[in-house]
Homo-oligomer: A and B are copies of this chain.
Amino acid sequence: MAACAELNSECIEEFLSSFNTVLVDCDGVLWCGEDNIIEGSRDTLVKLRMLGKRVIYFSNNSTKSRSQYQQKLHRLGFEAELNEIICATSVCCQYIKDTLNIDENVYLVGSSGFIEELDRHGIKHFGSGEDPVEGNLTEWTNIEYRTDVKAVLVGFDAHFNYMKIMKAANYLRNPNCYFLTNGLDFEFPLFNNDRIVPAAGCFVLPIQAAAKRKPTILGKPNKLMFEAVKQIYPDVDATKCIIIGDRLDVDIEFGKRGGGDEGVVSKRRRLRGAVSEWERAVSKSWRP
């Protein structure tokens, strides 16, 4: 990765002309939590569009389907066509359907985002919702497991519990059962708040330990996400894209694997300031 450089009036024109497409992460970059918009993020995207840049929303969040993302973007005042949204739930389900060709069931540790996309792709699934723990060790060794499970898919699931760790691990005893996840984020980005709200990566770890297998990560930094962009915009050129993200391990790594520029990545805690800087830099060069 090139060293970070501040955008100033001397290099901003050159920088802006170096890309035509912006892949922008959402959680932690445009907003934090339910509806804490990060200052400047909306205006920045408006200005980028006015400069003729293509804006693509790009998220690993497993709680939302593409249409749920569009609703949230609209609710928070962001312009967004469905085609401008690439999200891990949709990309994962497309991969399960088209590449893995799964006709059998998927055991889902996940919530409405994955449920909606699995349904939309016609993939059979079960496991979502509550699964209360019952019994003792002897009874747990006698749980009936289905034999038609071809993948365990792990995303965010507020009902995550002991039963789900056990069931996922036991389905994964079958070496032909795929172990898939959208990503390994361990907490949600929050706004001016040092509380910890654990994310889906925390559910992958115990399943991985019990099953003694590692999952395939289908969201960023897997380049499947970039291939999904190419399917919608065949003319997109990775060398002409920048990525605005908040995680070095996920967003920058994705930038490298996609073959594009490493982009603008800000540490979340400093993001509010960083986006304001970024907006100021764009504003300076932007002459309507």
Contact = CB atoms under 8 A, between A and B. Distances in A.
Interface of A: 33-34, 133, 136-138, 140-141, 143, 157-162, 165-166, 169-170, 173, 186-188, 190, 193-198, 201-203, 205-206, 209-211
Contacts of A194: 173
B34 A197 contact: no
A137 B210 contact: no
B162 A162 contact: no
B198 A210 contact: yes
B198 A166 contact: yes
A140 B197 contact: yes
Contacts of A203: 206
Total copies of this chain within the assembly: 2
Contacts of A34: 136-138
B162 A198 contact: yes
Contacts of A33: 137-138, 141
25 contacts: A33-B141, A34-B136, A34-B137, A34-B138, A133-B159, A137-B197, A140-B197, A141-B195, A157-B162, A159-B162, A160-B162, A161-B161, A165-B198, A166-B197, A169-B196, A170-B195, A173-B194, A173-B195, A186-B210, A198-B209, A201-B209, A202-B206, A205-B205, A205-B206, A206-B206
A141 to B, nearest CB: 5
Nearest to A193: B141
Nearest to A63: B137
Given A34-B137, A158-B162, A160-B165, 8 more contacts: A33-B141, A165-B198, A165-B202, A169-B198, A173-B195, A187-B210, A198-B210, A203-B206
A248 to B, nearest CB: 15
Nearest to A166: B198
